[in-house]
Copies of this chain bind each other. A is one copy, B any other.
Amino acid sequence: MIAGAALLGVGAGLDRLLADTASDDAEKDAEGNVVSFYGSHQAGIATPQPDYLEFATFDITSDSGDDLRALLQEWTLAAAALAEGMRVQSRSDEPDGAGADPGETIGVGPNRLTVTVGFGPSIFGSVRKGRFGLDVSLRPSSLLPLPAFEGENLEPARSGGDLCVQACADDPLVAFHAIHVLTRIANGVATLRWSQQGFGRTSATSRDQPTVRNLMGFKDGTNNLRVDEEREMDEYIWVQPGDGPKWMAGGTYLVARRIQMLLDVWDTTTIDGQERAVGREKVSGAPLGQENEHDAVDLGARKHGELSIPADAHIRLASPKLNGGQRILRRGFSYNEPSLAGSGQLDAGLFFICFQRDPQRQFVPIQRHLAANDALGHHLLHTGSGVFACPPGAQPGGFIGEGLFA
């Protein structure tokens, strides 16, 4: 069992750290960079997006429902403490041991850290009492492995997982530290499967955030759903009572896709060609045929008889009008990783994360549509993938996923 260090007495190795750093942290907390972990929804979804991501998935190595429940309780307490900028201690910490918290963020402050937990389809068996003794009736019909999409090249080593954790913060060290601590806590029950870093949010998620450019040089996410659009959040993002098993009401589904940008070819494409693939002007971000970034997309606009936004342009194929009115909340990041000798090109792209009420009605048909037709798709390669059910938030004393064990 884990608790925020401030909640425990002395004894574990890291209590010494607290005395030295409490004043530093208190100062930094006062700057308003704490996002509370607790709430009706999990943090990190309807939270304005910070600049850095550390995403990880885990394979559960135990068969015991009690172990899974204890892990979720411990992660909840640890994540709540981290969000407040506190060090984490484990009740199993040895008095002279290093403790659960390796200490690399001492004095750094919480930097709007959010931790979001999700469950992969693999936590459910197909029989009545499957893995962890979870009844098959608890499995949402929305939580299915993603189908294969045309042109993807998924690496198993970057895909799937029984659990996911999305850590976001304004400092990459803080996001790293959260996954570092949760990986240590999971020891003996779950092991890290794969992880992915991201930077430079590639979506605007609130009205006061300017749109950021992705590594193709285009403004990305202009028409993203905004987290302060409450009606739309209820309609498109939050699972509603009656949508499926009760434990997911107030939750949402996370889809993650690691999308490599084939920059060597893209960079030699003409700007006109790039703009026609995207459907927007490169500099201004305006939809083709319009003047300004936030002008409404007019799919019917024509110039000299030709569609201003070509038939295979990304923003046409991704638009709600061509996807049964469906919308999703994108919350992606750029990535940029070591290139190794022999590849001859940068390994960079987009770690796409989106949230939705039902991936079977939202991400899956939209992506099927894009994969078959999108002109931009010739410059992209999907190399990693995962889908996860993120249950509602917890209240103090509760834990993420508790409805599974009710």
Contact = CB atoms under 8 A, between A and B. Distances in A.
Interface in A265-297: 266-272, 274, 282-284
Given A106-B283, A270-B13, A346-B180, A336 B197 contact: yes
Interface stretch (A131-139, A212-220, A236-244): A212-220
A192 interface: yes
Interface residues of A, number: 74
A267 B156 CA distance: 28
A216 B102 contact: yes
Contact of A158 (B334, B341, B344): B341
Contacts of A336: 54, 172, 176, 197
A102 B266 CA distance: 9
A252 to B, nearest CB: 25
A340 B194 contact: yes
A126 interface: no
Given A173-B200, A176-B336, A269 B156 contact: no
A320 interface: no
Given A213-B106, A217-B103, A263-B180, A96 B272 contact: yes
A270 B103 contact: no
A155 B341 CA distance: 10
A157 B341 contact: yes
A111 to B, nearest CB: 12
A59 B343 CA distance: 12
A27 interface: no
A195 interface: yes
A217 B179 contact: no
A104 B283 contact: no
A339 B268 CA distance: 32
Interface in A173-221: 173, 176, 179-180, 183-184, 191-197, 199-200, 213-217
A234 interface: no
Given A20-B283, A199-B172, A346-B183, A340 B157 contact: yes
A341 B190 CA distance: 13
Given A192-B344, A338-B337, A348-B176, A106 B157 contact: no
A268 B99 CA distance: 8
Contacts of A179: 346
A17 interface: yes
Given A104-B214, A104-B216, A213-B103, A340 B158 contact: yes
Interface of A: 13-14, 16-17, 20-21, 54, 56, 59, 94, 96-99, 102-108, 155-158, 160, 171-173, 176, 179-180, 183-184, 191-197, 199-200, 213-217, 263, 266-272, 274, 282-284, 334, 336-348
